[in-house]
Amino acid sequence: MKKGDHLFLVDGSGYIFRAYHALPPLTRKSDGLPVGAVSGFCNMLWKLMLDARNTDVGIVPTHFAVIFDYSSKTFRNDLYPEYKANRSAPPEDLIPQFGLIRQATRAFNLPCVEIEGYEADDLIATYARLACEAGGDTTIISSDKDLMQLVGATVGMYDPMKDRQISIPEVIEKWGVPPEKMVDLQALTGDSVDNVPGVPGIGPKTAAQLLEQFGDLDTLLARAGEIKQDKRRESIIANADKARISRQLVTLKKDVPVAEGLEDFVLHAPDGPKLIGFLKTMEFTSLTRRVAEATGTEAGDVQAVAVTVERADSAHGPDLGAGTSSAAETRPDRAGENGMADEAPTAEKPKAGDTPSLLAALRLEAATARKIDTSAYIAIRDAATLKAWIAEAKEAGIVAFNAETTSSDPMQAELIGFALATASGRAAYVPLTHKSGSGDLLGGGALENQVPVREALALLKPLLEDRSVLKIAQELKSSLVVMSRHGIDVAPFDDTMLISYVLDAGTSGGHSLAALSEKWLGHATTPLKELAGSGKSFVGFEQVDIDKATAYAAGHADVALRLWLVLKPRLAAKGLVSVYERLERPLVPVLARMEQRGISVDRQILSRLSGELAQGAARLEEEIYQLVGERINIGSPKQLGDILFGRMGLPGGSKTKTGQWSTSAQLLEDLAAEGHELPRKIVDWRQLTKLKSTYTDALPGFIHPDTRRVHTSYALAATTTGRLSSSDPNLQNIPVRTAEGRKIRTAFIADKGNRLVSADYSQIELRVLAHVAEIPQLRQAFADGADIHAITASEMFNVPVEGMPSEIRRRAKAINFGIIYGISAFGLANQLSIPREEAGNYIKKYFERFPGIRDYIEETKAYAREHGFVETIFGRRIHYPEIRSSNPSVRAFNERASINARLQGTAADIIRRAMVRMDEALEKAKLSARMLLQVHDELIFETIEAEVEATIPVVRHVMENAAMPAVSMSVPLHVDARAANNWDEAH
C-alpha cells in the first residue's frame, strides 16, 4: 500500500445486525431461507466496489476487506467479565445468515478477516493504523459509534444504509467532541448494549460538556472536586474506577497480531461467474442481472452453487446443498446481443485490482463491437404494447428516455412522442401527436393509431417516478422541465452528457449526443435536418414520417443507453464519481426549477428605454454623418476603418488578424483622448445601439405568453471550467458597469408583495487563490476583512493603506486579476496602458512579495503538462490537451487557461454546492424564497416581503459554508446580500 491508495474496511458483523433490523424481512422463494441481511450485504458490497458513491471527493478503493467478529469471547472479558454479558442470542432467522454473509464475501472475491479473541473493531483499528502508516487513506464502512474514535485526517467512515459520510465534523456534530475524545466520552457515558458501565447519570451531553471544560478524562477525574453540581461531582468521584475500566473497554486495540497484511487486501476484479453462482443460489434476481451486465457474464450459463447453511439448532450444520433453481432470465434478450460474454474475464484472472477500469474497458469493447441498427426499433401504436414496454423497463430497473417536442425551448415545447430503451439495441418510439405530412396550410390531420397523450402520460408517470428504475437520458434537464409541466417528476436519473462532461471537460468534441455517439460508439447519428429539413423548409417533428421518427428518436434512446454503459464505469475508474454525484447530477433538478420559475421583466420600462436609446442613437448618427460627410453604415467596422484611417488619415491605426483596420473601443477611446471628435461619438453610438439591440429590444421577446416571465436556459456542460452558461436569453451578461446600462436591470422586478434578494460572493476567486496557494498575507487580509487590493499594493510598493493614492490601488487590483487570468506582461501592460517592461517589473516585484503565488503557478503548469489536466479542490478535472504544444503561443495560452481553471473552476464548484443545498435549506427554515438566477458568483432569489429578513441569513449561511465539509478552507468566504424591488437596487 502506498500514498494515494484507499482501503475500504467493511464492519461485517455490525452490518449484519443493522441490516437485519433495518431491512424488510426477505426469504428465499424456493425454500423460505431467510436472506434479508445477506441481500442487503450483497447489494452494499456491489455498490461499494463499483461505485464508490459514498465519498465526497471521488474515491475508488484500491484495497478492500470485510471484517467480522470471531466469537463473543475476547480479551475484554478478562478485563471485565460482565462485558457484553447481557447480550441475548441473535434472532433465530438471523443465525443462518452469519455464515451466508461470509460466503457472500468470498463470492465477491474479497478477503474475509476474523481473529479469535478480538472484535472486528480491533482489527479495523489495526488495519486503519497500518494503512495510515503506509501513507494510504481508509474508509470504514460502518456507522458504529465505537469506531468513531478512529476518524481522522486519513480515516473516514461511511454509513451505507443512510448514504452518509462521517468525518471529523460529523463526529463533532453528533457527539460534541472530536474523534480523539470519543474514548473519554464513551468511558463516561458507558454503553448499556455492551454492558460498559461508565459513570451513572452522565450522558453524552454532560460528558461532552465536561470534556470541553477539563480537556480529557484524566484531568476530569483528578479535578472532579471542582464540579459544581453536587450529584454529578459525587457520582464521578465514586465511579472513577468504573470510568477507567470503561475507557479500557472502549479503547480499540490498534496492534492486533494480524495474519494478513494490507497487501492481501488489494482489490481484485469480481469473478463474474463465481459471484453470479452465489447470487443465483440466493435467488437475488435483480442483483444477478446487474452483476451479469457489469461483468459481461451470461447469467444463464452459470450454475447456482452449493452453500453451507447453519441452522439455529446446530452451530455447524450440515451442507444442505444448493437451491439450484436458476433465476428465470425474463429480460428480452435479442440475438447478437451477447458480445460481452466473449470478453468476460473468465479465461484468465485479471491482474491488478482496478475493477472499475477493467469494467470500463470491457464495456467499451462491447459497445463498439455491436453495431447500431436503426431499422430494428419498434413503433408503439397502442396502449397495450406501451404497457408491456413499461413493465419490461421496470423489470430491467433501467430505461433510457428521450422526449421529442415541438420546440427546443422546454417552456414552450409540446410533446410529440417519446422513446424508451431497455437494453442495447432494444428501443421503441411512441408517437403521440404526429400529423400527416400533406403540405396543406393546416399541416394535415392527426394520424391514426397513436396512444392518446393523456393515457400515455398516465402509463409513463409511474415508470419515470419509480425510485427503483434508473432513468437515463442525454441532456435530461429540458425533458425534466417538459415532464414537470405534465406533473411528472423524473427520478432517479443519470445524464450521459454530464457524465461525459465530468470525464472529459476540455477535450475536443463537446458532449452532444452526436459527438459522444461518434466518439464512443463509432456511430454517426442522423442530423435532425435530414428528417425535418432546416431553415425555410423546416417542418415540425410532428410532420416526420413515423418510421423515420422511430429510427431517429428510439435511436437516440438506444445511443444514450449504450453511452451510459460505456461512460458510467469510467467515472469510478477515474475517481470522478463524487464530482458527478455532488456537483453535476443534483444540479439538474435545481436548474430545471429555476428555469421554470423565470423572472418578471417589466415590458414598459424596457420599451421606454428603447425609445430613449433610439433617440440618443439617432442624434449621434446625424452628428457622425455630418463629420464624415456621408451616410455610412456606422455598424460596419470595415466602413468605419476605411473612413477613419483611410480617408481621414487618423494616426495610430492597427490591423486585426484578417488585415482589417481595427476600430476597437480601446483604440477609439485613445483617439478621443487626443481630441478627435468622431471616435468619441462612434463609441457612444455603439454603447446605445448595443444596449438597445441586445437588451431592451430583445428581452421583451422572451417574455413567456402564459407565465409573463422570462425563462433563461442554463447549460451545465458548456464551459470547460465548470461554470454554467445562460442563453435564450443570456441573463448572465445584463449590463451593470455604466449608469446607462444599469437602467436595464431596473426592468428585472419582483412580483407584487415580493422582493428580489441578490447574494454574491465577495472576491471568491482571490480567496480561492489565497487558499490553494497558501499565501499568508492574503489569508490574513481576508481573515481581517481588509481591502485586498490595498493590502497587495501596500506589500508591493511599501506604502501604507491609509491615504493610498487610488492609482496605486488600481494597479494592484489589475495585478490581482491578472494572476487569476494567468498573468502575462503583455496582458498587464495592455490592461494598465503601460510599457511591457514596466508591467514585467510589476510582476517580478509581485512574485518577490508573494513567492507562494509563483510556486503555485509553476506547480500548476508542471501538473498540467504532466497529466494533461488540472483539478479544482473538489476534484473536478479540466483537460488541456494542447498544453504540450510545440507552438509557444498555444502552449502559453493553455498554461494561462489551466492556471485560471483551477481558480474559476473551484469558485464554480463552490456556488454549485451552495445551489444544490439551497432549496432544502430554505424549505427547512420554512421560507418560501425561490432561487431564480445564477450569475457565476451571485444568486438571485424572489421572496415575499415579510420573509426577506429571515431569508438573507439562511442564504448567506448556505453560501458561506458551501465548501464544507468536503473542504475546510483556510480563508473565509464572504457573501454580500441585499433586497429590493428590482435587480439594480438589490445588486
Partner DNA sequence: ACAGAAGCTTA
Partner DNA sequence: GTAAGCTTCTGTT
Considering only residues 502 through 541, tell me which ones interact with DNA, judged by CB under 7 A. 534-536
Between 479 and 900, name the residue whose CB sits nearer to DNA.
900
Q: Under the criterion CB under 7 A, does residue 575 sit at the interface with DNA? A: no
Between 82 and 807, name the residue whose CB sits nearer to DNA.
807
Residue from 47, 548, 690, 836 binding DNA (CB under 7 A): 690
Within 150-169, which residues bind DNA (CB under 7 A)?
A: none
| Contact (CB, 8 A) for 412 and 481 | no
Within 910-949, which residues bind DNA (CB under 7 A)?
A: 935-938
Residue from 736, 783, 862, 946 binding DNA (CB under 7 A): 736
Residue from 406, 526, 693, 885 binding DNA (CB under 7 A): 693
Between 105 and 721, name the residue whose CB sits nearer to DNA.
721
Distant-in-sequence, close-in-space partners of 977: CB < 8 Å, separation ≥ 6: 757, 758, 759, 760, 952, 955, 956
SS3 661: strand
Between 355 and 816, name the residue whose CB sits nearer to DNA.
816
Q: Under the criterion CB under 7 A, does residue 187 sit at the interface with DNA? A: no
Q: Under the criterion CB under 7 A, does residue 715 sit at the interface with DNA? A: yes
| Contact (CB, 8 A) for 24 and 267 | no
Q: Under the criterion CB under 7 A, does residue 725 sit at the interface with DNA? A: yes
Between 471 and 809, name the residue whose CB sits nearer to DNA.
809
- Nearest approach, Cβ of residue 580 and DNA (Å): 19
The span of 419-427, 587-595, 662-670, 944-952 binding DNA (CB under 7 A) equals 662-670
| Contact (CB, 8 A) for 485 and 507 | no
| Nine-digit cell string for 321 | 446443498
Within 610-649, which residues bind DNA (CB under 7 A)?
A: 633, 635-639, 641
Q: Under the criterion CB under 7 A, does residue 710 sit at the interface with DNA? A: no
Between 407 and 662, name the residue whose CB sits nearer to DNA.
662
Within 349-408, which residues bind DNA (CB under 7 A)?
A: none
Between 411 and 419, name the residue whose CB sits nearer to DNA.
411
* Residue 710, Ramachandran bin (φ over 0: left; ψ between -120 and 50: alpha; else beta): beta
Q: How far apart are alpha carbons 271 and 285 in whole angstroms?
A: 18
Q: Under the criterion CB under 7 A, does residue 721 sit at the interface with DNA? A: yes
| Contact (CB, 8 A) for 377 and 430 | no
Within 802-861, which residues bind DNA (CB under 7 A)?
A: 814-815, 817-818, 821-824, 826-828, 830-831
Count of positions on this chain that bind DNA (CB under 7 A): 71
Q: How far apart are alpha carbons 358 and 343 in whole angstroms?
A: 11
State the virtual CA torsion across 326, 331, 335, 337 in degrees, nearest 10.
-100
Q: How far apart are alpha carbons 199 and 182 in whole angstroms?
A: 15
- Nearest approach, Cβ of residue 511 and DNA (Å): 12
Q: From the CB of residue 693, how many other CB atoms can be counted at a distance below 10 Å?
A: 14
Q: Which long-range CB contacts under 8 A does 378-382 form with residues at least 24 apart?
A: 378/427, 378/428, 378/429, 378/550, 378/554, 379/428, 379/429, 379/430, 379/431, 379/546, 379/547, 379/550, 380/428, 380/429, 380/430, 380/431, 380/451, 381/431, 381/449, 381/450, 381/451, 382/449, 382/451
- Nearest approach, Cβ of residue 643 and DNA (Å): 11
- Nearest approach, Cβ of residue 719 and DNA (Å): 4
Looking up cell 449561511, which residue turns up? 957
- Nearest approach, Cβ of residue 826 and DNA (Å): 4
The sign of the dihedral angle between the CA atoms of 129, 134, 137, 139 is negative
Q: Choose among 854, 975, 867, 859: nearest CA to 911.
A: 975
Looking up cell 463526529, which residue turns up? 171
| Contact (CB, 8 A) for 243 and 221 | yes
Between 291 and 843, name the residue whose CB sits nearer to DNA.
843
Between 72 and 408, name the residue whose CB sits nearer to DNA.
408
| Contact (CB, 8 A) for 309 and 317 | yes
Q: Under the criterion CB under 7 A, does residue 766 sit at the interface with DNA? A: no
Q: Under the criterion CB under 7 A, does residue 663 sit at the interface with DNA? A: yes
φ, ψ dihedrals at 421, nearest 5°:
-135, 130
- Nearest approach, Cβ of residue 668 and DNA (Å): 7
Between 526 and 639, name the residue whose CB sits nearer to DNA.
639
H helix or E strand, kind and range, residue 513: helix 513-516
Distances (CA, A) of 710 to 18, 707, 730, 765, 794: 50, 8, 11, 30, 46
Between 75 and 826, name the residue whose CB sits nearer to DNA.
826
Q: Dump the DSSP string for 796-829.
A: HH---STT--HHHHHHHHHHHHHHHT---HHHHH
| Contact (CB, 8 A) for 86 and 154 | no
Q: How far apart are alpha carbons 213 and 843 in whole angstroms?
A: 50
* Residue 283, Ramachandran bin (φ over 0: left; ψ between -120 and 50: alpha; else beta): left
Q: Choose among 239, 203, 205: nearest CA to 221.
A: 239
The span of 72-80, 117-125, 656-664, 857-865 binding DNA (CB under 7 A) equals 656-664
- Nearest approach, Cβ of residue 14 and DNA (Å): 46
Between 190 and 735, name the residue whose CB sits nearer to DNA.
735
- Nearest approach, Cβ of residue 772 and DNA (Å): 16
Between 23 and 718, name the residue whose CB sits nearer to DNA.
718
- Nearest approach, Cβ of residue 495 and DNA (Å): 17
Distant-in-sequence, close-in-space partners of 972: CB < 8 Å, separation ≥ 6: 767, 782, 783, 960
Between 249 and 710, name the residue whose CB sits nearer to DNA.
710
Q: Under the criterion CB under 7 A, does residue 735 sit at the interface with DNA? A: yes
Residue from 139, 726, 754, 860 binding DNA (CB under 7 A): 726
Between 148 and 671, name the residue whose CB sits nearer to DNA.
671
* Residue 506, Ramachandran bin (φ over 0: left; ψ between -120 and 50: alpha; else beta): left
Between 99 and 510, name the residue whose CB sits nearer to DNA.
510
Binding mask 264-293 for DNA (x = CB under 7 A): ------------------------------
Within 430-489, which residues bind DNA (CB under 7 A)?
A: none
| Contact (CB, 8 A) for 557 and 400 | yes
- Nearest approach, Cβ of residue 840 and DNA (Å): 11
Between 590 and 734, name the residue whose CB sits nearer to DNA.
734
Binding mask 408-427 for DNA (x = CB under 7 A): --------------------
Q: Under the criterion CB under 7 A, does residue 904 sit at the interface with DNA? A: yes
- Nearest approach, Cβ of residue 859 and DNA (Å): 17
Within 856-895, which residues bind DNA (CB under 7 A)?
A: 893
Q: Under the criterion CB under 7 A, does residue 756 sit at the interface with DNA? A: no
Between 642 and 859, name the residue whose CB sits nearer to DNA.
642
- Nearest approach, Cβ of residue 128 and DNA (Å): 41
Strands (E), 100-259: 112-113, 137-141, 155-159, 164-166
- Nearest approach, Cβ of residue 570 and DNA (Å): 22
| Nine-digit cell string for 748 | 428585472
Q: Under the criterion CB under 7 A, does residue 679 sit at the interface with DNA? A: no
Distant-in-sequence, close-in-space partners of 687: CB < 8 Å, separation ≥ 6: 738, 740, 741
Residue from 86, 192, 733, 841 binding DNA (CB under 7 A): 733
Q: Under the criterion CB under 7 A, does residue 730 sit at the interface with DNA? A: yes
- Nearest approach, Cβ of residue 848 and DNA (Å): 17
Looking up cell 434479508, which residue turns up? 36
Residue from 314, 375, 658, 886 binding DNA (CB under 7 A): 658
